[in-house]
Amino acid sequence: MLGEYDVIVVGAGHAGNEAAAAAANLGSKTLLITMNMEFMGQMSCNPAMGGVAKGQIVREIDALGGYSGIVSDKSTIQFRMLNLSKGPAMWSPRTQNDRKLFTIEWRKMLEQTVNLDFWQDMVVGLIIKDGKISGVKTQMGIEVKSKSVVLTNGTFLNGIIHLGEKQFSGGRAGERAATGITAQLIEMGFESGRMKTGTPPRVDGRSLNFDLMEEQKGDENAQKFSYLTDILPVQKQRSCYITYTSPEVHELLKEGFDRSPMFNGRIQGIGPRYCPSIEDKIERFSERDRHQLFVEPEGWDTVEIYVNGFSTSLPEEVQLKALRQIKGFENVKMFRPGYAIEYDYFPPTQLKHTLETKLFDNLFFAGQINGTTGYEEAACQGLMAGINAHQKISGKEEFILGRDEAYIGVLIDDLITKGTEEPYRMFTSRAEFRLLLRQDNADLRLTEKGYNLGLASQERMDRLVEKNEKRTQLIKYFKTTSIRPETINKGLEKWGSAPLKQSVKLKSVLSRPNITTTKLRKEISFLDEYLTIELNDDVEIIEQAEIEMKYEGYIRKEQEQSIKMKKLENVRLKEGFDYSSLVSLSSEAVEKLNKIKPITLGQAARISGVSPSDISVLLVHLGR
Indicate the pTM of the whole model.
0.93
How many CB atoms are located within 10 Å of the residue 282 CB?
19
Alpha-helical segments (H) within 405-500? 407-418, 442-453, 458-480, 485-494
pLDDT class of 567 with cuts at 50, 70, 90: confident
Instruction: Round to whole Å and give the CA distance between 428 and 408.
Output: 12
Q: Which residues contact 351 (CB under 8 A, 6 or more apart)?
A: 357, 358, 365, 370, 415, 416
pLDDT digit string (tens) for 205-260? 999 999 999 999 999 999 999 999 999 999 999 999 999 999 999 999 998 888 87
* pLDDT at residue 140 tops 90: yes
The separation between CA 581 and the C-alpha centre of its own chain, rounded to angstroms, equals 40
> Beta strand 76-82 with 4-10: parallel, antiparallel or unpaired?
unpaired
Nearest to 418 by CA among 356, 354, 353: 353
Lowest mean pLDDT among 135-139, 170-174, 584-588, 597-601: 170-174
Instruction: Round to whole Å and give the CA distance between 63 and 65.
Output: 5
* pLDDT at residue 183 tops 90: yes
pLDDT digit string (tens) for 14-36? 999 999 999 999 999 999 999 99
How large is the average pLDDT for residues 151-167? 88
pLDDT digit string (tens) for 417-428? 999 988 999 999
Please give the sequence-ordered ranges of beta strands (E in DSSP) within 499-608, or none if there are none: 504-505
**Burial (CB count within 10 angstroms: exposed 0-12, middle 13-18, buried 19+), residue 246:** middle
The pLDDT value given to residue 130: 85
Query: Residue 112 in contact with residue 314, Cβ under 8 Å?
Result: no
The DSSP code sequence of 81-145 is: EETTTS-TTT-EEEEEE-HHHHHHHHHHHHHTSTTEEEEES-EEEEEEETTEEEEEEETTS-EEE
Query: What letter represents residue 40's amino acid?
Result: M
In the chain, what is the greatest distance between 2 CA atoms, to the nearest angstrom? 83
pLDDT class of 624 with cuts at 50, 70, 90: low
pLDDT digit string (tens) for 340-399? 999 999 999 999 999 999 999 999 999 999 999 999 999 999 999 999 999 999 999 999
pLDDT digit string (tens) for 80-103? 999 999 999 999 999 999 999 999
pLDDT digit string (tens) for 525-543? 999 999 999 989 899 999 9
DSSP β-bridge partners for residue 202: 306, 336
* pLDDT at residue 261 tops 80: no
Instruction: Round to whole Å and give the CA distance between 224 and 74.
Output: 10
* pLDDT at residue 1 tops 70: no
The pLDDT value given to residue 138: 96
The pLDDT value given to residue 274: 66
What does each C-alpha distance from 266 to 167, 275, 286, 343, 595 come to in angstroms? 9, 20, 23, 13, 31
The pLDDT value given to residue 2: 82
Q: Three-state DSSP class for 60?
A: helix
DSSP 351: B
pLDDT class of 263 with cuts at 50, 70, 90: low
The pLDDT value given to residue 10: 98
Instruction: Round to whole Å and give the CA distance between 68 and 48.
Output: 12
**Burial (CB count within 10 angstroms: exposed 0-12, middle 13-18, buried 19+), residue 430:** middle
Query: Residue 593 in contact with residue 604, Cβ under 8 Å?
Result: yes
pLDDT class of 124 with cuts at 50, 70, 90: very high
pLDDT digit string (tens) for 271-291? 667 678 898 899 888 899 999
What average pLDDT is seen over the chain?
93
How large is the average pLDDT for residues 189-216? 96
CA angle 398, 401, 405 (to 5 degrees): 155
Lowest mean pLDDT among 51-65, 91-105, 577-591: 577-591
Q: With b meaning 16 or more CB within 10 Å and e meaning fewer, what string describes 79-114?
A: bbbbbeeebbbbbbbbbbbbbbbbbbbbbebbeebe
Q: Three-state DSSP class for 598?
A: coil
Query: Residue 144 in contact with residue 168, Cβ under 8 Å?
Result: no
CB-side neighbour CA atoms (13 Å) of 612: 0
Q: Which residues contact 611 (CB under 8 A, 6 or more apart)?
A: 586, 589
Query: What letter represents residue 549's amino acid?
Result: M
Instruction: Round to whole Å and give the CA distance between 7 and 23.
Output: 7
> Beta strand 193-199 with 339-345: parallel, antiparallel or unpaired?
antiparallel
Query: Residue 514 in contact with residue 497, Cβ under 8 Å?
Result: yes
Q: Which residues contact 521 (CB under 8 A, 6 or more apart)?
A: 527, 528, 531
pLDDT digit string (tens) for 292-351? 999 999 999 999 999 999 999 999 999 999 999 999 999 999 999 999 999 999 999 999
